[in-house]
Amino acid sequence: MDTAAEGVLNNGNCAKSSSEEDKCARSVEAPLMKIKTYLSALRPWSLSASLVPTLLGAAIAYRTVGFAEFNFLTFVFTVFTVVTVHCAGNVVNTYFDFVKGIDNRKSSDDRTLVDHILTKDEVVTLGASLYCAGCVGFIFLVYLSPAKLEHLALVYFGGLSSSFLYTGGIGLKYIALGDVLILIIFGPISVLFAYMAQTGHVEWMTIYYAVPLALNTEAILHSNNTRDADADRRVGIVTLAILIGKTSSYILYALLLFTPYVMFVVLGVKYSGAFLIPMVTLPQAFKIEKQFRNEATLHGVPRQTAKLNLFFGILYVMACFCATQLPFITRK
């Protein structure tokens, strides 16, 4: 075979090889992109709102029962169950905000449906799958936990139904009751559930420990509703931010953001200096509060508040581990 013929043959083989490599690369990238899309639809930036209260409840339980009686497998299934239901609630929120015309290309922060990243059927399937996964996790939790089935079920299914009713069904978010729901679920209920799953009993004083996290988490929602107030008003939604106006919304946001720090100072001075650990996030809180006052920077405040919530919460959990005593909690 002459040199020219060999060159043509080699070029053909190279082209074929390159085409096969591209096809192989696309076959690998496609599933990865789909997974990334599904993960993005879960709004992972918001999950600190459920994760941190669960960690806090587990930390208080650990201080109550000690290392010997603390079940780490129970802890894993508790976190899985709570976070999975939260993810399902986020997906439900995405679906109903879209079908009710609240989310659109101009105003929506969640691009999952408005940009056709996922279809409505895919979102419904994802939400149902997450609820099913949460129920499977709950079944394992019932088997592992010393708590009574009826107590665990009451708290779990109360949280599950609330995650749906926030925008599904009667849509508590749309009638100015979303703030109340968030304060209860992403605070007292999550902390109590995690504590009860470990210890087997209800300790109502854990609610006191949930207050700083509940207020900080509500700050995320309130900043989101304040940012979207004009768009929400146009489509007939009623939120607390709309009812009280911009000035009062700022005052409320500041109270939600800074009241937990006042509580930490009181706990730190009266009981243990460890409760002052979360104070290191205070400069960041002032920075976010300044952004809230500026219309040009308000758009990013919900995510910034969620990020603060994560670091603030983790440091709070560390404080509960390090404190010489936990007030109002009796060691068993």
**Digit-coded pLDDT (tens) for 105-145:** 666 666 777 777 788 898 899 999 999 999 999 999 999 99
Count of structural domains within the chain: 1
**Which domain CATH number covers 249?**
1.10.600
What contacts 155, CB < 8 A, 6 or more positions away? 189, 192, 193, 196
Q: What percent of the chain shows pLDDT beyond 90?
A: 64
**Which segment of 24-33, 184-193, 290-299, 301-310 scores lowest on mean pLDDT?**
24-33
Q: What percent of the chain shows pLDDT beyond 70?
A: 87
- Residue 273 has a CB neighbour count (10 Å cut-off) of 13
> Has residue 21 been placed in a domain?
no
> Has residue 327 been placed in a domain?
no
Q: Mean pLDDT over all residues of the chain?
A: 87
With bands split at pLDDT 50, 70 and 90, how would you rate the model's confidence at 34? confident
> Has residue 290 been placed in a domain?
yes
Q: Which tokens hold the place of 200?
A: 């087997």
Q: What is the pLDDT of residue 107?
A: 61
* Residue that is written with structure tokens 């969620």 in the block: 306
Distance from C-alpha of 75 to C-alpha of 194, rounded to nearest angstrom: 8
Identify which has the larger pLDDT, 275 or 106: 275
pLDDT at 9 over 50: no
Q: What is the pLDDT of residue 108?
A: 64
> Has residue 5 been placed in a domain?
no
> In terms of DSSP H, where are the helices of the chain?
3-41, 48-65, 72-99, 120-144, 149-165, 178-184, 190-199, 206-227, 229-234, 240-270, 282-292, 301-322
pLDDT at 22 over 80: no
Cβ pair 277, 260 in contact under 8 A? no
Q: What is the pLDDT of residue 8?
A: 44
Domain span at 289:
30-322
> Has residue 249 been placed in a domain?
yes
* Residue that is written with structure tokens 């074929």 in the block: 16
Q: CA 286, 287, 288, 293: dihedral to nearest 10 degrees?
A: 90
> Has residue 16 been placed in a domain?
no
> Has residue 9 been placed in a domain?
no
**Digit-coded pLDDT (tens) for 192-223:** 999 999 999 988 889 999 999 999 999 999 99
Amino acid identity for residue 12 in this structure:
G
**Digit-coded pLDDT (tens) for 280-290:** 999 999 999 99
> Has residue 330 been placed in a domain?
no
